[in-house]
Structure 1
Amino acid sequence: MAGEINKSCGLDIHKSFLIATILSRSGEKQQQRIKRDDDGILSLRNWVTSEKCDVVACESTSDFWVPIHDSLIKHLPFIVGNARDMKAFTHKKTDKIDSEVIAKLALNGMVQPSRVFPKKHREYRSYIRLRHKLVQKRTDIKNEAHAILAPEMFNLKDVLTDIFGKNGREILSGISSGKNVDQIIQNLSPNVRKKSAQIRELLDREISQSAAIRLQICLKLIKNFDDSIELLGKEIFNYAYGNHKREMEILKSVPGIGELGAATLIAEIGDFKDFASGDKLASWLGLVPNVYQSADKYHNGRITKRGSKVARWILIQIAQAAARTKNSKLKEFFNRKKKSIGHAKAIVALARKIATIIWHLITNDEMYEDETGYIKGEVQRRKIVETEIFSVDERISIISEIFAIVEKKKPDIK
């Protein structure tokens, strides 16, 4: 922030109220408790502007700061700082002390601003994060369904690869609603109906009423989650392709990155040009190790895990996929690292490398190119070796010649 700060305001924000402290260079202090509603935010804005504050600062905990930020940012600088860097250095912990400490840090220019995305982008990111949570919850419900079926001895995995696919749900719905086996089999796809004997043997048992009720509830919840995830997916991709089409194309050219991965990275990282280098981006994502140094001792610890958890998670998933991609430099990098540091650390190292690669690609508007000749989306066709076709007589003649050669090479046994 340019210029000297003569007066600052620190906010300790909670769900229903906030504590605001105004400090000046002369040592004057004012403090108020304000309700966190429309009237309270308006009174806060009028107060800090009338007091001619140079800056307002708060911690980036939860999303309670968002409406306050959006209201005040049009009138004066508003800094949202990382809570890790703004802890009170005192044995006491009260809302008033927290507010005053934030004001002091802001007054002395010691608050490092966090990146605040535009409102539209924050909404887009909220779709991504909600989808991520719904997928996790859907997985929990599926695991619960597995737990229901296990004691009932319904081992559908012996027949189906995915028991929550179309055919699997038809079977689960049938056994939970009391349908007979013929009705269930009739509604299955032709490929699965070929296994009707196995299905009959599997379903030749009764499910308990308790298990049936719980299974029905699980299936309904999974269906609701599927519908919600599909709806969010449409909103996500509409925004991603509508506003970041070029970035989507660039990201999808990288091994391991699909549509959802690209959309998630754009949502969580935002403008890649905010970072001076790929290493800065990797650091912001928490993919760099903690460093401990004292005198001649130097030690690298675990990764910092700062920044977006969702971005870090998707990069790890991308790295897992890239490590399995044939004929790519990324797989070669992973294999080299794996020999020295093991599988798990090699995946993290690959995730960091991918982060630096995508920063370079986006900032330079380049598509990913692999020196090994890997092209994403290209089907690796199986080589067909053409063999010469011989007639029956020719085959007999060749075999006879082979036997004759073998007989000649046999040693004489005396």
Structure 2
Amino acid sequence: MNRTTSNTEAELTVVGIDIGKDVFHLVGFDGNGKLAFRRKIRRLALEETFKTLPGCIVGMEACLSAHFVARTLRRLGHEPRIIPAKYAKPFAKGQKNDYNDAEAIAEAALRPNLRVVREKTQDELDLQAYHRIRSRLVSRRTATVNQIRAFLIEQGIAIRPGLRALRASLFDILKNRADEISPRMSDLIVGLYEDWLWLDKRIETITAEIEKIAAEQAACARLMSIPGVGPIISTALVAAIGDGEAFDRGRDFGAWLGLVPRQYSTGGRTVLGRISKQGNTYLRMLFIQAAKVIIMRPHNWEKFSFGTWLKEAAPRLHRNKLATALANKLARISWSVLRNGRSFDAHGEAVAI
């Protein structure tokens, strides 16, 4: 532990924290930008340590437990700033170690134009956890179904795509092709089917809880007035951005989701490529799925305020490009609905985005 005098700590301006599983590394700077202290503490000593420090800016990277640490420090009178890791990296000097990382975070926290991560409430973290669990269960169910199909194809048995088709024909296949499928393989497939049923039940339970939360929250109800947006997207959006205050406009939110072209421009020449795919992968996937559902039903387009744009864009854009463009529009509308606290009027004027 390397510390200076308490007088220097009294002039403390910013502290950078490198958050670890059990150990935190702290680096503090005074108002002149001089090193005030370096300190290594245990996680359990966090609150006791910052009680002795004057109120100051405390920077940390967005990572596991960052929101908990931020809430704890705010309660103690400090000003926590959660910084995306890629924004802190340019400030790193020398070789990588925990103290150098904490120093880089402290310097990044002082940048006036640096966009920080919005601090989540406990309710938002709980809602986000529901979505993380549901996403993992859906992924495991897909893997289980694919494994059943793979074992059957090894026996020369191909089944048309879709969960319903496989579920309806699986036991008839095992019965009618018993002379081709060994008893061991049949038992394995039946076991996988039981796993599938268990995953279905867990997914239904989590989904029902998410739908219950969506029905209770006014912000989710407003979001569900947007075409293609249901309980899953509305709750995921509220868990991710709250009321949208972290973004100045809907365009910024679309860029954060990675639904805008990647830019590589120099010398006054603008070069745009494919979508950047930055930000929240889960939310981007949900919005693109919603856009594809809308595109599948062209007879409903005229009901939407963006229906005219959709009709004009459909003939000249590839289906995937159209889905991405529509997803971007839905995301921007969603931000506007959250920020302005108004429902989407499908028959009125287009929402200002």
1:8 to 6, 9, 14: 14
CA contact (8 A) 2:288 2:327 kept: yes
Cross-structure match for 1:354: 330
Amino acid at match of 2:269: K
CA shift, 1:161, in A, is: 7.5
Classify the secondary structure of the residue corresponding to 1:320: helix
Match of 2:318 among 338, 342, 360: 342
Contact 2:127 2:236 in 1 (8 A): no
Shift in Å at residue 58 of structure 1? 0.5
Residue in 2 that maps onto 1:113 = 116
Partner of 2:188: 214
Match for 2:300 among 315, 327, 339? 327
- Alpha-carbon distance between aligned partners in 1 of 2:247 and 2:337, rounded to the nearest angstrom: 13
SS of the counterpart of 1:312? helix
SS at match of 1:367: coil
C-alpha distance in 1, partners of 2:242/2:110?
Answer: 29
**Alignment equivalent of 2:200, drawn from 209, 216, 226:** 226
CA apart distance, 1:204: 6.0
Deviations 1:256-282, CA, capped at 9 Å, x for gaps:
233333333333332135533222321
Q: How far apart, in 1, do the equivalents of 2:333 and 2:224 lie?
A: 12
* Paired residue total: 331
After superposing the two structures, state which structure 1 stretch, 102-111 or 321-330, moved more.
102-111
What residue in structure 1 maps to residue 51 of structure 2? 49
Larger radius of gyration: 1
CA distance 1:97–1:225, change in 2 (3 Å): same
Q: Which residues in structure 2 correspond to 1:17-36 (within 5 Å)? A: 17-26=23-32, 27-36=34-43
> 1: distance between equivalents of 2:344 and 2:112?
40
**Aligned in 2, Cα 1:169/1:125: closer, same or farther, shift over 3 Å?**
farther
Alpha-carbon distance in 1 for matches of 2:237, 2:171: 36
The counterpart of 2:87, out of the listed 81, 85, 88, is 85
Cα distance in 1, alignment partners of residues 13 and 51 from structure 2: 11
Structure 2 unaligned segments of length 5 or more: list them. Answer: 1-10, 349-353
The amino acid that maps onto 1:20 is L
**Does the CA-based 8 Å contact 1:10-1:102 persist in structure 2?**
yes
Note closer, same or farther for the CA distance 1:108–1:6 as it changes in structure 2 (3 Å cut): farther
Structure 1 stretch displaced more, 319-328 or 355-364: 355-364
Read off the aligned partner of 1:297 and give its amino acid letter.
R
Q: Match of 1:93, SS?
A: coil
Deviation (angstroms), 1:226: 1.3
Code of the residue aligned with 2:153 in structure 1: it is A
After TM superposition, give the deviation of residue 341 of structure 1 in Å: 4.4
Q: Per-residue deviation at 1:146? A: 0.3
Whole-angstrom distance in 2 between the partners of 1:89 and 1:101: 5
Q: CA deviation at 1:81?
A: 0.7
The one-letter amino acid of 1:205's match is D
Q: Is the 8 A contact 1:7 1:107 kept in 2?
A: no
Distance 1:302 1:108 in 2: 30
Normalising by the residue count of structure 1, what TM-score does the alignment of the two structures yield? 0.71
CA displacement at 1:109 relative to structure 2? 4.4
Match of 2:128 among 125, 128, 140: 125
RMSD value over aligned CA atoms? 2.8
Distance in 2, matches of 1:300 and 1:292, equals 6
**Offset, 1:17:** 1.8
Shift of 1:338: 4.8
SS of alignment partner, residue 327 of structure 1? helix
CA positional deviation for 1:154: 3.6
Instruction: Quote how far apart the aligned CAs of 1:309 are.
Output: 1.4
Q: Secondary structure at the match of 1:294?
A: coil
- Matches of 1:48 and 1:219, distance apart in 2: 53
Query: Is residue 251–residue 262 contact of structure 1 (8 Å, CA) maintained in 2?
Result: yes
* Distance in 1, Cα, partners of 2:35 & 2:163: 70
The one-letter amino acid paired with 2:327 is A
Please give the secondary structure, in 2, of the residue aligned with 1:162: helix
Q: Is the counterpart of residue 287 in structure 1 residue 254 in structure 2?
A: no
Which of 273, 276, 299 does residue 301 from structure 1 map onto? 273
Q: Deviations over 1:132-167 (max 9, x none)?
A: 121012101101100011122344549x982444x4
The Cα shift of 1:317 comes to 0.5
1:139 aligns with one of 139, 142, 145: 142
Q: Which residue in the other structure is 2:227 paired with? A: 255
**Equivalences for 1:144-183 in 2 at 5 Å?**
144-157=147-160, 162-165=164-167, 167-168=168-169, 171=172, 175=174, 181=175
Q: Which residue of 2 aligns with 1:316?
A: 288
Instruction: Assess if the C-alpha contact under 8 Å between 1:250 and 1:368 holds in 2.
Output: no
Q: Secondary structure at the match of 1:293?
A: coil
Structure 1, unpaired ranges of 5+? 176-180, 182-201, 372-414
Aligned match of 1:397: none
